Structure 1
């Protein structure tokens, strides 16, 4: 759509017509010699006649000047080509997923979609991948913890890169232990560096903390002070009392400090339902930024006016040179 930034400038189009009717003639008050035989003098001069005074513009020159003036006025009005509105959604929520990579996550007590047993980490990877695909426009970060906690991905909207990093996770790559408190502490630090107030931490673990530098309950209190809600998901069969049983008490204590919620998940379908419920509990807050691309067009009428004047001047110079050769 074509728009003009300064439409009132078009009033200047009337200027040439106003000037033509204004009393701007120059009247000389000096005495003048009136010659009654001017025709005789002109006949003697022949081809050497020189015209004195102001020469009148031809119709072509008047139209040319009017056209150039119109182009200048159009340029001053600043024409712009306005494109279609472009809407960008900016999420006002940050989601941080903390995944346990300790040795206990290799326990195959999780039911896959086909009913076969898979390890806990494999179940996490399948469900998180689908979860990320539904989070377009949101900022998601990924923390991994085992014997130590580290940031696998800072908050990003590049979900393809996030899924690629998720697919490369392996049990034990962060060490065999389970440092839940350290993972929560690192998550709180990441939230502090942002400016979003809606902060959600999804903690996926068997809850068996094995000696964090920051006790899980202390880390949870720190999260609560920074307005971070923790949703903990206990991975695996709650009836499992083998080598790596699920420590539900620790995970429940963490969420109680932050007014979050605790979930059990021991099959893929239930884990999907848990993520849907979390999304309903904390609906995504989105701020829409709309703008329309603007393309400036003032240079085109201005360039056309300059080109017309240049061609006219070039034509006058050629005419004079041609007339001089004939003389």
Structure 2
């Protein structure tokens, strides 16, 4: 036997103390009555008191209270298998890991802020499946759709620009790769969330977003960076020795947030655009959007649960209380004949 709320069992320790206090108070009352009353009158009154019944009644009360305490502790034994239907959406997150995401116009840098937004979003998804696509000049699925957010976050933390040798920002390829990651056998809502600075150098991401809608997929975008522009640190040149990327003319390359492109992608994908660093956060805004989508059953789990048995103890407590109330406080006694009636009897 196990208990779901074992802390309640501590109240059982109070029952012996309560019993001792009750016994002492009854004894004291009897002593006080004997001291102030006529012994003969008290003896006649006590003759009708059901002493054994009173003791049994108090005992049943204490048993009932003990059973109620055990019931509150939620005793459990045995087990049963329960099928749990999980409702939610399929969410593929596309994270830009190009070199421009190392720019520090939002702190600590664009890529780290994007990871924080994704981690926060995962914490708010609830029953949704989540997968991750990494992209720069090419795209690949870092991990497929899963409910295991802990493992997903560990893969997310490992993402860095060096994972894809081909640099660039191919948002269209990221959308196409994310679509391939959905499970087409399930009718759940499918969503792509793209986190990038929006500087698309390849393909046509707006057309890719329209194609996603044709597949029943919504596309949301999250912009990282500022419109003023920021130099791009060369990988491996941090910690006070930062060098910035330059073009062929030797000019420092500035990376700017392209909000117009990201808004066009979101509009074409029937989603919405959010900017990282705002209030509420992008993660909070997207989570609110996802919560309003139609949910369908996307996963069934078999859970083994212990069977609650508190009803047995509550029923036993009720029986004890009813039995206590059925015990009479007094018993019938035969009256002793008086002296006058004895003298009138014939010899």
Q: Tell me which interval the TM-score lies in, with the shorter structure as reference length.
A: 0.5 to 0.7
The whole-number CA distance in structure 1 between the counterparts of 2:183 and 2:269 is 16
Q: 1:180-191 counterparts in 2 under 5 A?
A: 180-191=171-182
Who wins on radius of gyration, i.e. which is larger?
A: 1
Matched, 1:275 2:286: yes
Unaligned runs of 5+ in 1: 1-80, 111-116, 295-327
Cα 1:234–1:288 change in 2 (3 A) is closer
Match of 2:206 in 1: 217
TM-score normalised to the size of structure 2?
0.53
Cα deviations by residue, 1:264-319 (Å, 9 ceiling, x for unpaired)? 1236863343334333443654568587879xxxxxxxxxxxxxxxxxxxxxxxxx
Higher relative contact order (Cα pairs below 8 Å, separated by 6+ residues): 2
Cα 1:187–1:199 change in 2 (3 A) is same
Q: How many residues are treated as equivalent by the alignment?
A: 206
Asked if structure 2 preserves the Cα contact closer than 8 Å seen for 1:85 and 1:290, the reply is no
The whole-number CA distance in structure 2 between the counterparts of 1:292 and 1:125 is 32
Which portions of structure 1, spanning 4 or more consecutive aligned residues, are displaced by more than 4 angstroms?
283-294
Cα deviations by residue, 1:93-120 (Å, 9 ceiling, x for unpaired)? 101100001111111111xxxxxx3111
The whole-number CA distance in structure 2 between the counterparts of 1:288 and 1:176 is 37
The whole-number CA distance in structure 1 between the counterparts of 2:159 and 2:191 is 22
Instruction: Please give the secondary structure, in 2, of the residue aligned with 1:259.
Output: coil
Matched, 1:246 2:237: no
Unaligned runs of 5+ in 2: 1-76, 232-253, 306-347
Among 114, 120, 124, which residue is 2:110 paired with?
Answer: 120
Instruction: Please give the secondary structure, in 2, of the residue aligned with 1:191.
Output: coil
The whole-number CA distance in structure 2 between the counterparts of 1:254 and 1:263 is 12
Instruction: Please give the secondary structure, in 2, of the residue aligned with 1:155.
Output: strand
The whole-number CA distance in structure 2 between the counterparts of 1:244 and 1:292 is 50
Asked if structure 2 preserves the Cα contact closer than 8 Å seen for 1:146 and 1:172, the reply is no
Among 269, 272, 293, which residue is 1:258 paired with?
Answer: 269
Asked if structure 2 preserves the Cα contact closer than 8 Å seen for 1:181 and 1:217, the reply is yes
Instruction: Please give the secondary structure, in 1, of the residue aligned with 2:212.
Output: helix
Asked if structure 1 preserves the Cα contact closer than 8 Å seen for 2:169 and 2:199, the reply is yes
Match of 1:166 in 2: 156
The whole-number CA distance in structure 1 between the counterparts of 2:168 and 2:300 is 45
Instruction: Please give the secondary structure, in 2, of the residue aligned with 1:176.
Output: coil
Cα 1:290–1:273 change in 2 (3 A) is closer
Superposition RMSD in Å: 2.9
Cα 1:130–1:292 change in 2 (3 A) is closer
TM-score normalised to the size of structure 1?
0.56
Among 78, 90, 95, which residue is 2:91 paired with?
Answer: 95
The whole-number CA distance in structure 1 between the counterparts of 2:303 and 2:259 is 52
Match of 1:108 in 2: 104
Asked if structure 1 preserves the Cα contact closer than 8 Å seen for 2:197 and 2:223, the reply is yes
Cα 1:94–1:290 change in 2 (3 A) is closer
The whole-number CA distance in structure 2 between the counterparts of 1:100 and 1:198 is 23
Cα 1:272–1:218 change in 2 (3 A) is closer
- Report the alpha carbon displacement of residue 89 of structure 1 after superposing the two structures with TM: 3.4
Match of 2:145 in 1: 155
